[in-house]
């Protein structure tokens, strides 16, 4: 097979997978998935003895894939509704996370510090987490 053909095939395969994921994501959202809990579990928590992605991101050691995944998780989280707290506050806090993760993804100077400022667990939980 010619190289260009292979590349085209691969592109189609990747798109197909991405589309499949989107569709499953949507169906799951109808059931009881919670993008906020998903983001917390995947990026703010880690098994004992390992660093969560949020910590690595602040230290500048998170991988490109981890940052991209985190950015997607924060974007989904921003569109979700927290258990409590007003909308403006939620939009501001999640917006800061999305902006900081975007800066990390682009490798902007100062992005890690920006992120550490945005990922303030207690400041957000106090207002939005509920009991």
Beta-carbon neighbour count of residue 97 at 10 Å? 25
Q: Are 78 and 91 in contact (CB under 8 A)?
A: yes
Q: Which residue has the tokens 């500048």?
A: 60
Q: Is 124 in the site for ligand HEC (CB under 6 A)?
A: yes
Instruction: Select the residue interacting with ligand HEC from 40, 67, 98, 103 (CB under 6 A).
Output: 40
Q: Is 121 in the site for ligand HEC (CB under 6 A)?
A: yes
Instruction: Select the residue interacting with ligand HEC from 93, 98, 103, 111 (CB under 6 A).
Output: 93
Q: Are 92 and 107 in contact (CB under 8 A)?
A: no
Task: Enter the tokens of residue 46.
Answer: 């880690």
| Residues near ligand HEC, by CB under 6 A | 34, 36-37, 40-41, 44-45, 54, 82-83, 93-94, 97, 119-121, 124-125, 128-129
């Amino acid at each position: 097979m010619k190289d260009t053909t292979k590349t085209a095939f691969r592109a189609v395969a990747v798109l197909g997978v991405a589309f499949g994921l989107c569709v499953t994501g949507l169906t799951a959202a109808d059931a009881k998935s919670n993008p906020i809990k998903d983001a917390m579990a995947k990026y703010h928590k880690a098994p004992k003895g390992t660093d969560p992605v949020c910590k690595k991101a602040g230290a500048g050691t998170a991988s490109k894939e981890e940052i991209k995944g985190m950015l997607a998780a924060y974007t989904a989280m921003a569109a979700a509704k927290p258990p409590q707290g007003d909308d403006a506050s939620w939009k501001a806090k999640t917006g800061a996370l999305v902006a900081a993760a975007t800066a990390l993804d682009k490798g902007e100077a100062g992005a890690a510090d920006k992120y550490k400022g945005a990922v303030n667990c207690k400041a957000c939980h106090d207002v939005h987490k509920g009991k």
